[in-house]
Amino acid sequence: MRRIVPSLVILSFALVASPAGSKGNTYTPKAGDAAAESVVKTLDPSVDPCVDFYQFACGGWFQSFELPADKVSYTRSFSSIDERNEVLVKGILEDAAKKVDAKDDDKRIGDLYGSCVDTATIDALGAKPLAPTLAEIAAVKDPTTLMVTLGHLQQVGASPLFGFWVEGDFKDPGVNIMHVVQAGLGLPDRDYYLKEGDDAQKTRDAYVATMEKMLGMAGVAEPSATAKKVYAFELALAKIQKAPEDLRDPTTTYHRIELTGLQAKAPALPFGEMFGAMGVPGLTAINVTDPDYIEGMGKIVAATDYDTLKAYLAWQYITAAAPLLSAEWVDANFAFFRKELVGQKSDRDRWKKCVDTSTEAFGEIIGKGYVNLAFKGESKPVAQDLIGRIAKSFEANLPGLSWMDDATRTHAKEKLDLVNNKIGYPDVWRDYSAVTTDKADFFGNVMRSRAFENKRHLDKVGKPVDKAEWWMTPAEVNAYYDPLKNEIVFPAGILQPPFFDATFPAAMNYGAIGMVMGHEFTHGFDDSGAKFDGHGVMTDWWAKDAVDKFGTQTKCVSDLYGTYTITDGLNVNGELTLGENIADLGGIKQAYGAYQSWKGEHGGTEDTRITGMTADQLFFVGYAQSWCSKRTPEIDQLYATVDPHSPPRFRVNGPLSQLPAFQTAFKCKAGKPMAPKTRCEVW
């Protein structure tokens, strides 16, 4: 997954009327208990929890909360933590920027943040920072200069024609290789180019108009005609790209063809020249996720005139650089890419964007200070205990899976035992000493940091995987599972209230962060993760009968979520979201099992601090309330196209409707929407 008020504010004491279907209970929070009062205030007691649990759990919040004008989505848990973290990080950055004798890492973060908030200097420069690279693009005249320039653009945040990342080889996960992927579109996904209808065409027209305006601002001749040519070039690329759901299966995206194979797919493009320009002339270890795309892309480039290719490269560079430029560039970029495309009404405060930019560049420098402020005391040991219990719950669930044979069950247990858990922050902090900064050069600071990060990754190709490396920064409000390392990572940023607090009732912690932990464990066994063994090797460790039955179980999930309607004419993509949905179903089940084990060790019950709400009910409410969300219609459209996660409503109602323990906790009668007579179960 992927961000100044506290997330758990002290709310006024409230008595809440009985919700339909809840046996006449009223919910009375313990006076002065901020956590309990917040839970009750967030409920909507007029809704039957057996009909729409998401609305029951979040309806009070929906009524009182307005989506901020500078956001396109807001989730009660993630976003409130994010806002609090923003303020903490701002303080760290401001302190560094104020130091007149700052050195080393303090100087780096102080220079970057200070140069970012210095809008007077940025505005005075206008488009001047673009000039050197635009001049290089204008000088492109043949395949060699094209690929050298393309390599330079890849170093500073653009991904023309294709993109890449560096991590382990699927068959030899201890060694890093380059993975080349389809990219190069200005709109978010190929669907934006190919979808029919008035709304889709309106978006495309606005995109071309924006391109025309910004190319004109950059001094490109005949910007109207040029924009149309660039769009036609992008459309050609979009037509040969695969849909996101077709790129989820690692067995169909692993093509270790090396540099020679990459070159053979697009013989007119000298990739060696590009790698030389990127500072890694000897790079050869390459996997291509879709060789057909590389072949088709090479043919499209070969058939395109150089004026169009240069305009395309210029546009790719401009869109990567515009947010770093003067106000007119920032405004033009915002007008389409944020307001038109995703429905954001107003731009974010400058300091917030500077916090994000600084964190993107120097996340682990900032992370050291963040951890000292926000992740102290018992937080780490309590989180470690909780995740250990989730793992035991997953193991205890294995014998009850009727579709799995004993041999495969044994291998699943072996993989589970090998999962490595990382909590809070790295054991070894990243070294940024190669990055130089200047308090008067915001554009240069960002571009140098991007080039450093690009080179840092490229230098890993062909070398052993660093198992201590983190893919997220300590302040990030997110978590992930890495199948190639068979590890689960929980940054300190997500281990915060309301997701997690050592002082909360255990039911809330298990329902909120416990479910996230179970979710990440289950990713190791979803339709993609299950293709890697406990050592991170992509291999067939399943018995054939288990594979067939697993396919039946996962099809049930895909079909179920495909019935969920986001808006009129727009349903959840059950194939695209399958892995996350499997993880959600497994995550809440494992978290519930772990909580039952915890209760058994603590007298069999727990004081919820809410009269009228049982411990099991609080567990499910805590889970649902962590996903209370508001979003713009435009971002719903975008997420439905590219996001592998289901919308929050279905991340709650989907898993809980399939879990018998939920129906028991709320006494839901069979046949109710949250208690269907037939259910899906994978893990």
Active site residues: 520, 584
Residue type at 194 in one-letter notation: L
- Contact between 284 and 292 under an 8 Å Cβ cutoff? The reply is no
- For 474, residues 6+ apart whose C-beta sits below 8 A from its C-beta are 363, 364, 366, 367, 368, 370, 371, 375, 424, 425, 426, 491, 492, 493
Tokens 């080349």 identify what position? 180
- Contact between 159 and 144 under an 8 Å Cβ cutoff? The reply is no
Torsion sign over Cα 179, 185, 186, 191? negative
DSSP string computed for 278-338: TT-TT---EEES-HHHHHHHHHHHHTS-HHHHHHHHHHHHHHHHGGGS-HHHHHHHHIIII
- Contact between 223 and 212 under an 8 Å Cβ cutoff? The reply is yes
d(CA 663, CA 91): 46
What tokens were used for 5? Answer: 């008020």
d(CA 265, CA 287): 13
What tokens were used for 175? Answer: 């060694």
- Contact between 545 and 405 under an 8 Å Cβ cutoff? The reply is yes
- For 288, residues 6+ apart whose C-beta sits below 8 A from its C-beta are 179, 180, 255, 257, 261, 262, 265, 294
Instruction: Say if strands 286-288 and 176-182 run parallel, antiparallel, or are unpaired.
Output: parallel
| Whether the bond into 129 is cis, omega within 30 of 0 | no
Closest CA to 629 of 78, 69, 34: 78
d(CA 326, CA 124): 7
d(CA 42, CA 334): 33
Angle between helical axes of 379-397 and 578-601 (0-180°, round to 10): 110
d(CA 304, CA 50): 59
Closest CA to 256 of 182, 169, 175: 169
Cα 250 to chain centroid distance, Å, stands at: 19
What tokens were used for 105? Answer: 């890492």
Closest CA to 289 of 165, 123, 373: 165
Closest CA to 619 of 653, 640, 638, 596: 596
Residue 401 β-bridge partners: none
- For 260, residues 6+ apart whose C-beta sits below 8 A from its C-beta are 284
